[in-house]
Structure 1
C-alpha cells in the first residue's frame, strides 16, 4: 500500500472513530498534498509525500517552540498532538552512527575535498536520508567533516 493510500485509509478510520484531532491533521496533510499536485502538475509518489510531511513536522516543531516561549501551553499541546500524528507517517529515524556512515560514504563517493564541495555532498545525502534524518543537523555534521578534511 502506498503512503497516499495509507493516509486516505487513516482519514476514513478517523472519520468512523470521530477522532477530530487526527481527522483535522490528516485533512491538513491531504490538502498540502493536493496543493503540491495542482501547483506542480505532478502525481505524488512516496518520496514527495515524505517531503511534505517532513516540512509539516518542522513547522510543528517551530510552532511548539514559539508557543512555549510565549507561554501558550494550550496551543503548544495542540501542535504536539498534530506532530505525533504526522510523525507516525515518517520512516524510522537513523541513528547517529548510521548518519555518520552515510556522510562518510557521500564524501567518498563525491570526492569532496573541503567546504566548497558541501553542495555536492548534501545533494547526495538529501536523496539518501530524506525523511529519515534531520537535514539541518546533517548539514552541520557535513560542514564539520569537510572542514576537517
Structure 2
C-alpha cells in the first residue's frame, strides 16, 4: 500500500471515528500533497513519488517544531499543544528513523566505505548514508552526527 493510499485510508477511518482534530490534520496533509503534486506538473509528473512525500512530511514536521518553540516563547501553550498533536499525526506516516547506536553504526560504515578522514569529505559520507538508508534518516540529526564523527 502506497503512502498516498495509507493517507486516504486514515482520513476515512478518522472521519468514521468522528475524530475532528485528527481528520483536520489529515486533510491538511492531503491539501499539502495536492499542492506539491500541482507544483510538480510542469516537470511532467502527475503525482510525486513516496520519497518526495516523505520529504514533504518531514518539512511539515520541521515547520511545526519551529512553531511550537515560538508559541512556547510567547506563552501560547494551547497553540503549542495543537502543533504537537499535528506533529504526532504526521509522524505516523514516516518510517522509523535510525537513532542512537544504529545511527552511529551506519555512520561508521559509511565513513569506512567512503574512506573519509576529515569534515571536508562530509558530503561523501552523507551521500553514502542517503543511498543506503534513505527514508530512515533524519538528515539534520544525521549530518550533525557525521560532522561530530569526522571531527573527532
TM-score of the superposed pair, with normalisation by structure 2: 0.87
**Structure 2 gaps, min length 5:** none
Q: What are the equivalent positions in structure 2 for 1:26-37 lying under 5 Å apart?
A: 26-37=26-37
Could you tell me how far 1:22 is from its partner in structure 2?
A: 1.0
Runs of 4+ off more than 6 Å: none
1:129/1:47 CA distance change after superposition, 3 Å: same
In structure 1, runs of 5+ residues without a counterpart are none
The change in CA–CA distance for 1:70 and 1:126 in structure 2 (over 3 A counts) is farther
- Render the CA deviation track for 1:7-45: whole Å, top value 9, x for unaligned: 011111222222221111111111221222221233322
Contact 1:22 1:85 in 2 (8 A): yes
Structure-to-structure mapping, 1:1-149, within 5 angstroms = 1-41=1-41, 42=45, 43-148=47-152
Contact 2:130/2:137 (<8 A) preserved: no
- 8 Å CA contact 1:54–1:131 kept in 2: the answer is no
Cα distance in 1 for residues equivalent to 2:20 and 2:122: 44
C-alpha RMSD of the superposition: 1.7
**TM-score between both structures, scaled by the size of structure 1:** 0.89
- Deviation (angstroms), 1:95: 3.0
